[in-house]
Amino acid sequence: MNNEILSVILGGGAGTRLFPLTATRSKPAVPIAGKYRLVDIPISNCLNSDIGRMFVLTMYNSASLNRHIKNTYHFSPFSSAFVDILAAEQTPDNPAWFQGTADAVRQCLRHIEPFDSDYILILSGDQLYQIDFQEMLDSHKANGADITIATIPVAQKEASEFGILKTENNIITAFTEKPKTGLEDWVSDTGSEMQALGKVYLASMGIYIFNRQLLFDLLLHEKKDSADFGKEIIPQSIGKYKVASYQYEGYWEDIGNIAAFFDANLALTKDLPEFNLFDNTKAIYTRPRLLPPAKISGTTLDHTIIAEASIINASKIESSVIGIRSRIGYGTTMVHTYLMGNDFFETLDQIEDAKQNGTPLLGIGARCYIERAIIDKDCRIGDDVKIIGGKHLADADTPLYTIKEGIVVVKKGSILPNGFTIG
């Protein structure tokens, strides 16, 4: 384990753009790929990069995130590795909650300070990528940098959605936030392969390596009133300190809204997905639940991921992700859907009680048709239900479901009766 660097993972704010998935959980706790949580991505990237000391800063809707980390990341008593939760706390000298990314780290420095390191890696808890942070650290050292920012080449149509950096010989000389005009002044040398694809702009990925002492000096003295890294600390450090770019050219997705979350999950069902869950050297770790295997009867499956302990009697499932402990009834068809699954199994007595009360069973009933939807955990969807998402649907929010950009999101724990129709 590399003890010269430790990692600080930011647990995220209210996550309003991912609502209703963040109604009862923080963004890093949102289930992804049927069995993981978003926070598993940065933690796994650290472990695969031989970084074993991590702090996760939490505040908003943090109970399920805290529980997941507690139940998942256990290390040998002979190891110095840890994943520790640093929850926002009011203290006699600071009664305020976290005011931004930089302020969150600032408030936790007194807990981080006792752990020796030369460098501190700052990560977001809600991004999807597979990066070797050891290579990024080596680049940081080779450049003699004070701060290194992970950057990704983007094309002109994407540049206006990111903070764009201008570089010379890997050193960042200027920064602009989401430029709408004058992009011709922000072209960087991204290499011949990226230039051939029209990706000539460098976007910040919100991943930073700081020399430890500089980070402490910035947060506690020089920039003690700055609340955010991306909007304040980083732009104000360019030109004053040696800020380098580490160019990453692999898959990276900022899970910022429902459409991005939906597309990122369904992209995992491709024959050769850009985010590879089957790479032995870049494994994604999560809670070992010791569940039984999935059981499938009479179902046609096409480009579908199915997690453990699912019982599936559907007619057809296509281009979909089926989460843990899912139950899908006879004659049901699901297309372009992410079913998150369930937190528990219903007992035979509970199933009988539900039938007696006319309550749909946990999971998806018989003869349903579901397309372009996200079904959050522990939903009860009755028989003959139709959910057909698409651009024909206007954005809406109801007690049972939300519609965003044509994607129907059934809220956690919702009960849709027999024959219920959306779309």
Of 314, 267, 302, 296, nearest to 32 by C-alpha is 267
Structure tokens at 381: 């969807």
Q: Cα separations (Å) of 166 from 173, 195, 204, 394?
A: 6, 15, 11, 39
Q: Quick one: pLDDT at residue 324? A: 97
pTM reported for the whole predicted model: 0.94
Q: At 103, which helix (H) or strand (E)?
A: helix 101-112
Rounded CA-CA distance 137/127 in Å is 19
Q: Quick one: pLDDT at residue 61? A: 82
CATH superfamily of 289-422: Hexapeptide repeat proteins (2.160.10.10)
Q: Quick one: pLDDT at residue 294? A: 97
- Phi, psi for residue 379 in degrees, rounded to 5: -85, 150
Q: At 264, which helix (H) or strand (E)?
A: helix 258-267
Q: Cα separations (Å) of 279 from 123, 199, 294?
A: 22, 26, 22
Q: Quick one: pLDDT at residue 181? A: 75
Alpha helices, DSSP H, located in 174-211: 192-196
Rounded CA-CA distance 99/344 in Å is 36
- Phi, psi for residue 336 in degrees, rounded to 5: 50, 60
The DSSP code sequence of 166-183 is EEETTEEEEEEES--S-G
% of the chain at pLDDT higher than 70: 98
Residue 412: other Cβ atoms inside 10 A: 17
Q: Which residues pair with 37 in a beta bridge?
A: 31
Q: Quick one: pLDDT at residue 186? A: 87
Rounded CA-CA distance 319/388 in Å is 15
**Cα 183 to chain center, whole Å?**
29
Rounded CA-CA distance 2/421 in Å is 54
Which 3-state string (H, E, C) describes 393-407? CCCEECCCEEEECCE
CATH superfamily of 5-267: Spore Coat Polysaccharide Biosynthesis Protein SpsA; Chain A (3.90.550.10)
Provide the 8-state DSSP code for 354. H
Q: Quick one: pLDDT at residue 345? A: 92
Asked if residue 277 lies in contact with residue 293, where contact means CB atoms within 8 angstroms, the answer is no
Q: Quick one: pLDDT at residue 317? A: 98
Residues of the chain with CATH 3.90.550.10: 5-267
Residue 109: other Cβ atoms inside 10 A: 14
Of 5, 8, 49, nearest to 212 by C-alpha is 5
Residues of the chain with CATH 2.160.10.10: 289-422
Q: Quick one: pLDDT at residue 403? A: 97
Give the model confidence (pLDDT) of 167-222 as tens digits.
888 899 988 888 877 777 788 888 889 988 889 899 999 999 999 999 999 999 88
Q: Quick one: pLDDT at residue 320? A: 98
Q: Quick one: pLDDT at residue 340? A: 98
From first to last of its 423 residues, the chain has per-residue pLDDT tens of 788 999 999 987 767 889 999 999 988 999 999 999 999 999 999 999 999 999 999 888 888 899 999 999 999 888 889 999 988 777 767 667 777 888 889 989 999 999 999 999 999 988 999 999 999 999 999 999 999 999 999 998 888 888 899 988 889 998 888 887 777 778 888 888 998 888 989 999 999 999 999 999 999 988 888 888 988 999 899 989 999 999 999 999 888 899 999 999 999 999 999 999 998 889 999 999 899 999 999 999 999 999 999 999 999 999 999 999 999 999 999 999 999 999 999 999 999 998 899 899 999 999 999 999 999 999 999 999 999 999 999 999 999 999 999 999 999 999 999 999 998
- Phi, psi for residue 34 in degrees, rounded to 5: 85, -20
